[in-house]
Amino acid sequence: SDGTVWAWGADHYSGAGPAISHASPVQVLELSGVTAIAAGDDFSRVLRSDGTVWGWGDNFDGQLGDGTTTSRSTPVQAVGLGAVTALGPSRSPGLALRSDGTVWAWGRNNEGQLGDGTRTTRLLPGPVSTLSDVAALAGGDDHSLALHLDGTVSAWGNNGRGQLGDGFARYRLSPARVPLP
């Protein structure tokens, strides 16, 4: 509730400094004013009260959004993001909701989970140009979801088990509204 972040456990990138295990919580000193946390596979991202996004941990697919694939043991700021109001939880791609209702995405894109019409990994955040009027974000194992202000849902990415709700079992490279009965 005070905007600080604490990390613990066996990992290489706790955000609390060198790669060691912590049996008890250790404060991530570089961060304050944190309003949300999203954890992925071996990395974490936070949203600060100033609308910036910070991350640390594995960065092999650019999931930290700093323009590199260098893994970090201390937080780095995602480049080019501002006015972020929410983070989308996900295993790998970064999803950020901005105050204007647009969505920005970065990181792994092997199944189209960035929604940019390609399967190209993106090291820097960029807009999901076909989305607007978004109220909330969600993500799963290589797929992404957006809840619109009108109550409809858009889905994109991996659809191997029907997780996009569109009746097909293939990936979508761009967001599409989920047809509801």
Q: What is the pLDDT of residues 68-84, one digit of tens each?
A: 999 998 899 999 998 99
115 phi-psi bin (left φ>0, alpha ψ -120 to 50, beta other): left
Look up residue 35 and give its two tokens: 């309003």
Q: What is the CATH number of the domain that holds 153?
A: 2.130.10.30
Within a domain: residue 163? yes
**Taking the CB of residue 63, how many other CB atoms lie within 10 A of it?**
29
Task: In whole angstroms, give the CA distance from residue 95 to residue 102.
Answer: 10
Above 60 in pLDDT, residue 16?
Answer: no
Above 80 in pLDDT, residue 106?
Answer: yes
CB 118 within 8 A of CB 173: yes
Within a domain: residue 152? yes
Residues 118-172 pLDDT 10s: 999 999 999 998 999 999 999 887 899 999 999 999 999 999 999 999 888 889 9
Within a domain: residue 1? no
**Structural domain total, the chain:** 1
pTM for the model stands at 0.90
Within a domain: residue 19? yes
> What is the average pLDDT across 40-59?
92
Choose among 8, 41, 26, 56: nearest CA to 142.
41
Cα dihedral 42, 113, 33, 10 in deg (nearest 10): -10
Q: Which domain holds residue 67?
A: 6-177
**Per-residue pLDDT at 135:** 97
What integer best gives the mean pLDDT of the chain? 90
Helix then strand then coil, in percent of the chain rounded to 5, is 0, 45, 55
Within a domain: residue 36? yes
Identify the residue whose tokens are 């991530």: 28
**Per-residue pLDDT at 12:** 56
Confidence band of 177 (pLDDT split at 50, 70, 90): very high
